[in-house]
Amino acid sequence: MKLSRPARRATLVVHVIGAACWLGLTLGLVALALTAITTDSSAAVEAAVRSMKVFADWLVLPLALVTLLSGLVLSLGTHWGLARHRWVYTKFWLTLATTVASLFALRPGVDESAATVAAGNPVTDTADLIAGPLVSLSAYLFMTVLSVLKPWGLTRRGRKQQRGQKQRASAHKRVDAGDVRQTA
């Protein structure tokens, strides 16, 4: 089923806005994590980690799901297809992986750091605080490049579909050059 032009455009706008917000949120998490790691002020560390918790609790998962679902609708409702082009297939799996990682790694890590800071203790494992946002940021930047460049061509399934379309198109009755009548 193909999306109508207005539905495709609306879904594309939702997808781009969701992805841009997710990328921006991740940049903010990186900046807050760097602040928490590099500052000597315990108040600044606490503020940075608490801010990360608010962002991780309220924004990361909704933006991830908006991006994942709108991308899925776009891939299934347009000529790109989900498993037809390698760049779409790669983006889908990376988006799914980063969504799962955000839910099961990023949020618990930020929650643990926030609990540590709330108890009045310093954050001892700073690698956990910065690793998740840096990995996410790298993945989102890579997916953005994929969206713009659309590299790698068709998947095996896409090539099969393309061959099937060409065969259906060539199945029409061929005109024999000897049968063509002169009209004038």
What are 87-120's pLDDT values in tens digits? 999 999 999 999 999 999 999 999 999 999 999 9
Q: What is the pLDDT of residue 162?
A: 82
Mean local confidence (pLDDT), 141-149:
96
Give the tens place of pLDDT for each residue, 33-42.
999 999 999 9
For the entire predicted model, the pTM comes to 0.85
Decide: residue 91, CB within 10 A, 0-12 exposed, 13-18 middle, 19+ buried.
buried
- Of the candidate ranges 40-44, 142-146, 167-171, the one whose mean pLDDT is the lowest: 167-171
Q: Indicate left, alpha or beta for 152 from its phi (over 0: left) and psi (-120 to 50: alpha).
A: left
Please count the other Cβ atoms lying within 10 Å of the Cβ belonging to residue 96: 14
Give the tens place of pLDDT for each residue, 30-74.
999 999 999 999 999 999 999 999 999 999 999 999 999 999 999
Question: Please, what is the average pLDDT of the chain?
Answer: 91
Q: Indicate left, alpha or beta for 172 from its phi (over 0: left) and psi (-120 to 50: alpha).
A: beta
* Cβ contact 92:71 at 8 Å: yes
